[in-house]
Structure 1
């Protein structure tokens, strides 16, 4: 397709120059998909250094929740930065306390919570794992195949979405056992209820033969699995997991780093089922782009952390806390609801597209956390990995920024403030890009 917003061949000359400079000085470990070199952004629009305009439907991996450069967030950052940039977490300030108070009001636990502030999702997961082991005195953790919890050593031990993430780093933190995440589209067990099958596997096979339940500190799970393919577990599974944890005195940790802060159409994905975690991790969309994460736990759990048991230098940074406060206010007031309504519209348009393309096997996900799984054909469900990669690249050349997840799933994670008109523009590009890559393949 010819997009009037794309003015140069991609990458353009200025972008090519930047790529060459980057190669000389930046680690090659970053998993970059296509050569987008950003200049600036506004809302759901971004421009590269050559003046090409793109629609952003990946929002910095679900980070820019309120869109690029939201005036309220920018204003909060400016106001805080003019006062002081840092004081360290050894002291007190209003922004940190206010953020803790806000989270105490919003958290899905249904009871008072305490919060620990950090800088990223992986650090939040590290803190949650340390907290669970410290309070329970137990050494083991259960995590799920397909999970992504971060790349530092504790969180990496629980990550299992791609083997490349662990390759070369063994041994990681000991004591982690992975179990299948129930996937309604790709069932691993016989029977219709994949959720109950996984629960039976944990209780009647794993706990009976390999992992003593009374040694398990926590079960760590994404209530909607992100990197593993944007998978929503079947109805009743999270409730059953809660009951299993209660039976054995195990903490239930919800990793809401990607699914939290309005992404699924509610403030937290936990609210779709009413299941109350003991501990929750947050980051990504929490600060609209500022580096901030949180460990949120029921008060009787976190108050057991003794002085000095855990800490950091930058946690509760005033500028980041100010950005988070502004973000949460916007999400609570309008953007979670917008994610629900526009997400439903987007999902229906994608499902309509799926009726016309045999390579779209499944469309799933709540709110604006939507996955479109590509397959060789609907009958075989064979993952179409090369097609997925080709579609991302072609969409970029046509003016739309996307990311993938799982084996062959395109994920749609635009800013929560997008409009139906933005969705319509994106759908035009998606359909045209899909037609083009299929024509080339045939």
Structure 2
């Protein structure tokens, strides 16, 4: 077990008003030079971090239960990841992997194609961000199938570049002012048990929509692929009913479509398995990876079955892809997850955290659902009388938690997401729930 799990980090400690004076100066400087398109959850200017603990420029210490948006899966600045990146920096930073060869990214690719869901032979393309992996998946699917259309899901988030944005359907503000987008993308409902009469009803709603789409608007033989998040991320940390992904695999096969799994947020142990599709024993044709792959260094990957990766030399590449520093960090991430038994920890501590949240939720009328797998957990807030989403309350809770020293982020219409590092201890989980409970009580009082 790693040091982070054996000795829990110092509890959150707030020593100044929030935001502090130094943070205010950083925010003011940021406002003058950084694009206003970059969203910020709250005025937090981070100076350093370790494990679950984050310290701002004013010396306040917070616990990051968002893991940098599910990126620092093995904890901030894990010493083995940092050491691996530093060692690589001493020898080679940029080999121009699109023109030459380099051992570190090749070693990583060998491991990733082995870890990706399914037993089929696979090949890999590296990118620098999640949205690049999505774009690569779109291009490969079109090239391999000779088809141009895609099916995605309502509530999905796949990125903000033009192709991935066309698949995204979580917030209208992402698309306003950027059209026309890539044509030929249609969306159907994601099976959300919380919005249906039961799991079977949720699945049937989705497949009824798929059948209607193919019957009335979209020729099946023009659809290159179905792009799906195994568990929806920004859409609300929605876990689909059992049997959904198996049936979606069958549907794709029936119509000659590729099944493309966006594992960018669900990958690298986040759900208690290497990839979320492993929970359902479903092999996608293409698996998209990012976020936690290198614990904070920019890297992503698109892994496809070898018989699908049929494009030729020069058809797709990137100057910085396969960067050896990021690859060294990613190799260290895999080592840490394996050596510190973090998949098992994510399952056991994740179950404990969900149990603690459900116990607390039993006494809060506004909490309508606690759901998730591993350490990917969502707590949803709705009006107990009308069932309407309480987005303003969720936002108030997020800010109240920050002032308590707990970093959380929202998702969906009115859900707070819990995505702490996979190194989280039961003690840290319990403390996090206590802080969350205080924030909920404060926010409910304010909203009343």
What TM-score bracket applies, with the shorter chain setting the length? over 0.9
Does structure 1 residue 417 correspond to structure 2 residue 426? no
SS state of the match for residue 306, structure 1? coil
Q: Answer yes or no: is the 8 Å Cα contact 1:114–1:298 preserved in 2.
A: yes
SS state of the match for residue 39, structure 1? strand
Question: C-alpha deviations, 1:181-227, integer Å up to 9, x for none?
Answer: 0110012x899421133113212x11111111111000000000000
Which segment is superposed worse, 8-17 or 85-94? 85-94
Counterpart in the other structure of 2:390? 384
Counterpart in the other structure of 2:227? 220
- For residues 75 and 279 of structure 2, the distance between their equivalents in structure 1, rounded to whole angstroms, comes to 24
Does structure 1 residue 107 correspond to structure 2 residue 111? no
Aligned length: 436
Which runs of 5 or more residues in structure 1 are unaligned? none
- For residues 376 and 17 of structure 1, the distance between their equivalents in structure 2, rounded to whole angstroms, comes to 39
Does structure 1 residue 74 correspond to structure 2 residue 85? no
Counterpart in the other structure of 1:126? 135
SS state of the match for residue 397, structure 1? helix
Counterpart in the other structure of 2:191? 182
Within 5 A, what are the aligned runs for 1:290-369?
A: 290-302=297-309, 304-333=310-339, 334-369=341-376
Counterpart in the other structure of 2:4? none
Q: Answer yes or no: is the 8 Å Cα contact 2:200–2:241 preserved in 1.
A: no
**How many Å apart are 1:376 and its aligned residue?**
1.9
Once superposed, what is the RMSD of the aligned Cα atoms? 1.3
- For residues 221 and 332 of structure 1, the distance between their equivalents in structure 2, rounded to whole angstroms, comes to 27
Name segments (4+ residues, structure 1) moved above 6 Å.
none
Alignment TM-score, normalising by the size of structure 2: 0.96
**How many Å apart are 1:380 and its aligned residue?**
2.8
Within 5 A, what are the aligned runs for 1:21-420?
A: 21-89=29-97, 90-187=99-196, 192-203=200-211, 205-302=212-309, 304-333=310-339, 334-377=341-384, 379-420=385-426
Alignment TM-score, normalising by the size of structure 1: 0.97
**How many Å apart are 1:126 and its aligned residue?**
0.2
**How many Å apart are 1:348 and its aligned residue?**
0.3
**How many Å apart are 1:106 and its aligned residue?**
1.1
**How many Å apart are 1:332 and its aligned residue?**
3.1
**How many Å apart are 1:104 and its aligned residue?**
2.2
In structure 2, relative to structure 1, the CA distance for the partners of 1:55 and 1:380 (3 Å cut) is: same
Q: Answer yes or no: is the 8 Å Cα contact 1:267–1:331 preserved in 2.
A: no
Q: Answer yes or no: is the 8 Å Cα contact 1:195–1:235 preserved in 2.
A: no
